[in-house]
Structure 1
Amino acid sequence: MDPTLDELVGAVDLFGGLSREELVGGFQDIGARMGDDVDIKVLNLRIDEAIEKYYLVEVADRGLLVAGPSALPELPEGGEDLPHLILVG
């Protein structure tokens, strides 16, 4: 599973904000349900790219990622299950 930048934002936007760990965990769970492996290193690089290109914005004092001004949020395939997969803390 290799989510687009807009799919990363779609997952974050669904919750109003997620930590990096919650976002990665959500995509791991979606990948597992779809029988698709998620390369954590590649996913973290994609998250870094989303931040660099303002698809995601880091709220440093809260440890959250939120939708940025460049984003057109879109849920990834299987994303409708995210509310059941990610435990937001």
Structure 2
Amino acid sequence: MAHGSGPSVAARDDLAGVVDLFEWLTRAELSRALSELAFKQRTEADEAAIDAAIGLAVDEYALVPAPDGALSGDDVTGHTAESTALAVGPAAFPTLPEGAEDLPHILDVPDRGVDREALADAVLDRLRREAVTAIDEGDAERLETLADVTYDVEAWAPVDVGPVRTRILAEVDE
């Protein structure tokens, strides 16, 4: 995440790789991890670029907000915007950026876990809500992204996304 670099698929998958090291991270912890990586790589951490990359990863379902019910660990509590727990989502292909293997020694994060079934249910609920919003707003670009995500979700978790995909594709095809 060097200064001036914009979010990319590679960055998105690197973010997922960092989160995958810990099972889940808050948005603030992920931002700190990326700043630590930038320091290790002797580049300047650009907070705006980090925030944009995290936002894009969440928008594209590479990282997904995880409800408290899907999380385990000593520090599971209610979350604010900065402490929203993020887990690896269905559109991610997690990769470890250079130096990331040292992050568990640098960050003081307790052992954590994610209940994949509860996370999958939350992702499906979010997908449904976002599809309705995109349909209501006539947002064809978002609908195409969400249509792609339905295939990722189906491969990622044992949930039935068929009805959501059918509704999205009916709108896209109009």
TM norm structure 1: 0.90
Paired with 1:15 and 1:46, the residues of 2 have a C-alpha distance of 19
Match of 1:28 in 2: 35
Distance of 1:42 and 1:60 partners within structure 2: 26
By how many angstroms is 1:31 displaced?
1.1
What are the within-5 Å matches in structure 2 for residues 4-83 of structure 1?
A: 4-61=11-68, 62=79, 63-83=84-104
3-state SS, counterpart of residue 18 of structure 1? strand
Which structure has the larger Rg?
A: 2
Q: Secondary structure in 2 aligned to 1:26?
A: helix
Query: 1:38, CA displacement in angstroms?
Result: 1.1
Q: For the residues of structure 2 that align with 1:4 and 1:33, how far apart are their CA atoms?
A: 17
Runs of at least 4 residues off by over 3 Å = none
Indicate if the aligned counterparts of 1:7 and 1:75 stay in contact, CA closer than 8 A.
yes
Residues of 1 paired with 2:99 and 2:16: CA distance? 15
Q: What SS class does the counterpart of residue 109 from structure 2 fall into?
A: coil
Gaps of 5+ in 1: none
Aligned residue-pair number: 89
CA displacement, residues 17-58 of structure 1 (integer Å, 9 cap, x when unaligned)? 000111111111111122111101111011000000000001
Q: Percent same amino acid among aligned pairs?
A: 38
Q: Which has the higher helix share?
A: 2
Matched position secondary structure for 2:65: strand
Tell which deviates more after alignment, 45-54 or 28-37: 28-37
Q: Return the letter of the residue paired with 1:82.
A: L
Where relative contact order (Cα < 8 A, 6+ residues apart) is larger, the structure is 1
SS at match of 2:94: coil
Contact 1:22 1:87 survives alignment (8 Å): no
Please tell me the root mean square deviation across aligned C-alpha atoms, in Å: 1.6
